[in-house]
Amino acid sequence: MRAFEHGAAMWGVERPEPPGRVAGVTMAGFRVQDLAALRIVPHPSVTLLLEFGAGSPVLDCAAGQQRGSMAAGPGLGSTGAVRAWGRNVECVQVRLSPVAARAILGVSPAELDGAVVPLDDLWGREAARTCERLGETSSWQGRFLLAEALLARRHESGPPVDPEVAWAWRRIVASHGLIRVDGLADEVGWSRKRLWSRFRSQLGLPPKRAVRLVRFDHAAHRLVAGERAARVAADAGYADQSHLHRDVMAFTGATPATVADEPFLAVDDIAWPGRGSAHRPHLTRDFGTGPRPGTGRPPP
């Protein structure tokens, strides 16, 4: 288990070896004795928290407190209104591409509506049984294999999203949010109205929100890596540094300088190596562009 120190906080962090094989799924394990109030920074994924330790993670959000295993839609934590804390926390955190989330959750991410939902509400008794088995498993690698088997089974049996919607999402992510959403409908051969409707209903957020969230996520990790805000703003497609400042404030309720020191972001290079660095795409595994729907041709 790797150690992550941030200020007075000490976290134990583990990751699967080798990385998982289910497309659109990444995970990491955390053990934190005393988790002080941690700002949840919005991320372009659906998050599952599978807790199994003696303690229990707690999320404070607009709807009140949520404890234990939970699921959260993409963009959780916007405006900086969500905090996590707890003692003796042990959990497996899973990040799901919204493209994979619909099948794995059993419902569209739109049903989460950016909020936190107890995992029992989605999976029934299977959620409790899974967490019990995680607690009974003696090694982190064993826990990852157990979680992956569950997620793979649900992924195979659940409803997929439309190929055109998956294509549009992957184009947004591959570009780090530097893409004009008005052109996506033309690329997949749909009307704008149809793509916008299907995208929102199947992935849980409209295309323009998805572009902003992906662009913000990429910019935020570059800030954490120590890059100057002016350079990040120019490279990430913001009109100027003030535009970056406004976007960061809208997503986190904090300034870029504060966000650059957020442990929620800084731990990514340990928990999700290759996805938190400013020099490498912050993507989950199924975020390649792939062939264009209905053509077999690569994207432009």
Residue 240's CATH number: 1.10.10.60
Same domain, 129 and 228: no
Q: Answer yes or no: is 288 within a domain.
A: no
* In a shared domain, residues 36 and 143: yes
Q: Which domain holds residue 218?
A: 163-271
Angle value at C-alpha 24, between 74 and 63, nearest 5 degrees: 20
Q: Clarify whether residues 122 and 12 are in a common domain.
A: yes
Q: Looking at the structure, do residues 14 and 152 belong to the same domain, yes or no? A: yes
By DSSP bridging, strand 46-51 and strand 70-72 are antiparallel
**pLDDT score of 261 more than 60:** yes
174-202 residue pLDDT tens = 999 999 888 999 999 999 999 999 999 99
Domain check: are 21 and 122 in the same one? Answer: yes
Question: Which of 93, 123, 157 is the last residue in one of the domains?
Answer: 157
With a pLDDT cut of 90, the percent of the chain lying above it is: 70
Closest CA to 120 of 57, 173, 50, 174: 50
- Which residue in 19, 269, 275, 282 sits closest to 174, CA to CA? 282
Residue 289 lies in a domain: no
- Is 226 inside any structural domain? yes
Q: In total, how many domains does the chain have?
A: 2
Q: What is the CATH number of the domain that holds 105?
A: 2.60.120.10
Residue 282, in any domain of the structure: no
Domain identity same for 90 and 19: yes
Compute CA distances 248 → 105, 213, 218, 259, whole Å. Answer: 29, 10, 11, 8
* Residue 84: partners with Cβ closer than 8 Å, 6 or more residues away: 35, 37, 38, 40, 57, 58, 59, 60
Residues 204, 252, single domain; the answer is yes
Does residue 219 share a domain with residue 96?
A: no
Distance CA 52, CA 69 (A): 8
Judge if 142 and 38 occupy the same domain. Answer: yes
* Mean pLDDT value across residues 281-298: 41
In a domain, 43, yes or no: yes
The tokens describing 59, both together, are 């999320």
Higher local confidence (pLDDT), 294 or 37? 37
**Interval 42-99: pLDDT, tens:** 999 999 999 998 888 899 987 788 899 999 999 998 888 899 999 999 999 999 999 9
Q: Does residue 194 fall inside a structural domain?
A: yes
Q: Where are the alpha helices (DSSP H) in the chain?
A: 98-105, 119-123, 125-136, 140-157, 163-174, 184-188, 192-203, 207-224, 229-235, 241-252, 256-259, 263-266, 268-271
Last residue of one domain, picked from the residues 157, 181, 200: 157
CA torsion angle 218 219 225 229 (round to 10):
170
Is 190 in a helix, a strand, or coil? coil
**Residue 120 falls within a domain, yes or no?**
yes
Band of residue 35 on the pLDDT scale cut at 50, 70, 90? confident
Are residues 127 and 10 part of one domain? yes
Mean pLDDT of the chain: 88
Counting every residue, how long is the chain? 300
Q: Do 25 and 125 fall within a single domain?
A: yes
* Predicted pLDDT of residue 194: 95
The residue from 123, 157, 191 where one domain ends is 157
Tell whether 198 and 250 lie within a shared domain. yes
Q: Is residue 44 part of a domain?
A: yes
- Predicted confidence band of residue 279 (pLDDT cuts 50, 70, 90): very low
